[in-house]
Amino acid sequence: MSDTPDPVVERNSSETVASFQHNDRGLLHKVQHFLHRYPTMVPVIVLVLSLIAFGLIAPNFFSAFNLSLIMQQVAVVGTLAAAQSLVVLTAGIDLSVGAVMVMISVIMGRLSIDFGVPVPIAILLGLGCGMLTGWLNGFLVTRLKLPPFITTLGTWNIFLALNYYLSGRETIRSQTLDSEAPLLKLFGERFNLGGAVLTWGVVLMLLVFGVLWYALNKTAWGRRVYAVGDDPEAAALAGIQTNRVLMSVYMVAGFICALAAWSSIGRVGSVSPTSFFESNLESITAVVIGGISLFGGRGSIMGPLIGALIVGVFNSGLRLAGVDVLWQLFATGWLIIVAVAVDQWIRKISS
Amino acid sequence: MKMTSVLRLSLAASALAMSAGLAQAQEPVKACLITKTDINPFFVKMKEGATAKAEELGVELMTFAGKIDGDHETQQQAMESCIAAGVKGILITASDTKAIVESVKQAQDAGVLVIALDTPLDPIDAADATFATDNFEAGRLIGAWAAGKLGDAAADARIAFLDLSQSAPSVDVLRDQGFMEGFGIDVKDRARIGDEDDARIVGHEVTSGNEEGGRQAMEALMQIDPNINVVYTINEPAAAGAYEALRSFGKEEDVMIVSIDGGCPGVQNVSEGVIGATSQQYPLKMASMGIEAIAAYAADGTKPEASEGLDFTDTGVNLVTDDAVDGVPSISVADGTDQCWG
């Protein structure tokens, strides 16, 4: 925009009508265009390639048993990544997801074991508390207009402290849960599917992603979420109640964190206030590698599911190949960098 | 200046005399306890032990803790605050055993007695004294017990090692290598994990010392060799996680888990057969001995002595199991329960 509004059209201004440029029609451009249309393709391609690579170099990697074990191992962080994705789609970031999850698992465990609350009620209360944490995050972001990063950095510390307080820094033992509240370990229960062994936690993760995919792609709410993430001002002008949308996003994310909490009890076996310390960063890693743009409004919800699986495949494959654990960190780091670089390159087409 | 230090000493002496029922003078001896975290029951117990003993001796105790294990920054700030507060002695379980040495030196220059609890500093003589579990011995006991239980089958054992972390702090190395020595594995370099070539070792994984990490690590090693039948674990939460993984493979009956700590949930796991045997350590004792040493130092300047043949003061370790093995001294689960912490 020029700062001197001039009603008279310039004499020597261009006479051609605005048009898209269609030079650079090379293969690379076609690829770029294809990936822009199907954003989930990047992580899918990476996943397939890494499966093939590790299948070739790591012994026992390509068995139904091992592949299903990877699913079990990523179930909890994958479910968290679903919650994280929602917030990231609105151009936010939620650093508190892991602390919320661990805190809710402690709430469910303590209510059931130490306060004699019937287990289904304890679980419902836990799910309610999860939504409450989302409400707090949402309130701070929408009413006090704090940046999500800062808000959730704060609530991360708060929920972590509450987690230690509520747990009395004690672990509730696996055996106690088995005898008094087996329902809490529901998502750790296994069933066989051919040669694969899956847990209900894996089913929960897939279910959460399935429901979110439907909600984001087939409902008005989903379209609002994308609109608010893409351009909140434009969304507001279009009559969308952006605050209400953001609020719903944080509350749904909190609810999913509580589901992840229930799932985590089955996975770990006990209620342990010190477990999953870095799960918030792991969930962000899955989202980024899954190709959801941190600038909001772009990316498919299925991406983070693939992203979580990629990290799981790398960790399992490198382990089975006998590689030192530090190279798992190294590989994850490069995956993040490459994923974001590819995302930026694809975005060029829309700029 | 001289006058005040004389005064201080006499006050310290009178503080000591309090335990003999005498009236106390105005300014008590000050001491600090700095732990790795406030989260781990081990340190919570340590704080209890120090607080109780400080009350008994009339020592004014300040406590600090890092946010998480490995949080060096908070510990350094705590050291500085303690020096500024004019304490007589500092008890510390260091998160970063090398980095803290600088702050320790500052404290000593200010005339403060610094005692390392549980975790030796690097070098160990950077502290005036170290009150700790003999971690090598703790590992050796469970290694010897496991080999004794297996008998002739020990020659073909398949052993998994669930260690603490990538950085392999001293406690990690000592326990791991101690287990090997007890089991009869050539440890090569005693300061290094992973340089052994014994065919019975399936592998080492790290657990962060919690249940989740224990489960992940056990799953990874079972993938490498499903016939694992002995599992060494760095601590009892990691052991609990390993057991969950074994249960999911339907292998919990065929595998022997040994551990170290002696926390109450761990000892209960021994009684229920989840863990075969565990080496119990005594955090409460470390802390109360530490406060006593500071009070003595304040009274007449004496510094604590190291145990015979060791470069630290051994606060004791006992193997807890109801399934004793000849030649490996142990205490019963009932006794272990009486002395457990957390």
Residue extents of the structural domains in chain A: 72-183+200-350
**Distance in Å from the first CA to the final CA of chain B:** 44
Tokens found for residue B150? 């297996």
Option in B166, B212, B220 nearest A326 (CB):
B166
Helices (H), B184-279: 211-224, 236-248, 264-271
Chain A residues within 8 A of B274 when measuring between CB atoms:
175
A30 touches chain B (CB under 8 A): no
Residue burial A274-305, b: 16+ Cβ < 10 Å; e: rest: bbbbebbebbbbbbbbbbbbeebbbbbbbbbb
Confidence of residue A351 (pLDDT cuts 50, 70, 90): low
Cβ–Cβ below 8 Å for B223 and A164 = no
B168 touches chain A (CB under 8 A): no
Cα B311 from Cα B41, distance rounded (Å): 27
> pLDDT for A201-216, tens place per residue?
999 999 999 999 999 9
A267 touches chain B (CB under 8 A): yes
- CB < 8 Å from B in window 163-202 of A: 164, 169-171, 173-175, 188, 190, 197
**Best mutation target, B38, B42, B164, B244, to test chain A (most A CBs within 10 A):** B244
Chain B residues within 8 A of A326 when measuring between CB atoms:
166
DSSP B263-284: BHHHHHHHHTTSSSEEEE--HH
B16 touches chain A (CB under 8 A): no
Task: Provide the CA B323 distance to its chain's centre, in angstroms.
Answer: 24
Tokens found for residue A258? 């509580």
> pLDDT for B117-157, tens place per residue?
998 898 999 999 999 999 999 999 999 999 999 999 999 99
pLDDT truncated to tens, each residue of chain B (342 aa)? 455 555 555 555 544 444 444 444 457 899 999 999 887 888 988 999 999 999 999 999 999 998 777 788 899 999 999 999 999 999 999 988 888 999 999 999 999 999 999 988 989 999 999 999 999 999 999 999 999 999 999 999 999 999 998 878 888 999 999 999 999 999 999 999 999 999 999 999 999 888 999 999 999 999 999 999 999 999 999 999 999 999 999 999 999 999 999 999 999 999 999 999 999 999 999 999 999 999 999 999 999 999 998 899 999 999 999 999 999 999 999 999 999 997
The shortest C-alpha distance from B341 to chain A (Å) reads 11
- Longest Cα pair distance anywhere in chain B, in angstroms? 72
Chain A residues within 8 A of B237 when measuring between CB atoms:
171, 272, 274
Cα A23 from Cα B116, distance rounded (Å): 71
Cβ–Cβ below 8 Å for B243 and A174 = yes
Q: According to the model, what pLDDT value does residue B19 have?
A: 43
Name beta bridge partners: B231.
Answer: B160, B257
Option in A197, A267, A325 nearest B206 (CB):
A325
Q: According to the model, what pLDDT value does residue A177 have?
A: 94
CA distances from B154 to B63, B145, B150, B177 (A): 46, 11, 5, 17
**Best mutation target, A268, A314, A323, A324, to test chain B (most B CBs within 10 A):** A268
> pLDDT for B176-215, tens place per residue?
999 999 999 999 999 999 999 999 999 999 998 889 999 9
Residue A97 DSSP symbol: H
The shortest C-alpha distance from A275 to chain B (Å) reads 6
Name beta bridge partners: B259.
Answer: B278
Cβ–Cβ below 8 Å for B212 and A276 = yes
A85: pLDDT strictly greater than 70: yes
A328 touches chain B (CB under 8 A): no
Chain A residues within 8 A of B215 when measuring between CB atoms:
267-269
Residue burial B43-75, b: 16+ Cβ < 10 Å; e: rest: bbbbbebbbebbeebbbbbbbbbbbebeebebb
> pLDDT for A222-260, tens place per residue?
999 999 999 999 999 999 999 999 999 999 999 999 999
Cα B247 from Cα B258, distance rounded (Å): 16
Under 8 Å between Cβ of A94 and A251: no
Tokens found for residue B273? 């057969």
> pLDDT for A96-130, tens place per residue?
999 999 999 999 999 999 999 999 999 999 999 99
B240 touches chain A (CB under 8 A): yes
Helices (H), chain B: 2-18, 41-57, 72-84, 101-109, 135-150, 170-183, 211-224, 236-248, 264-271, 283-300, 333-338
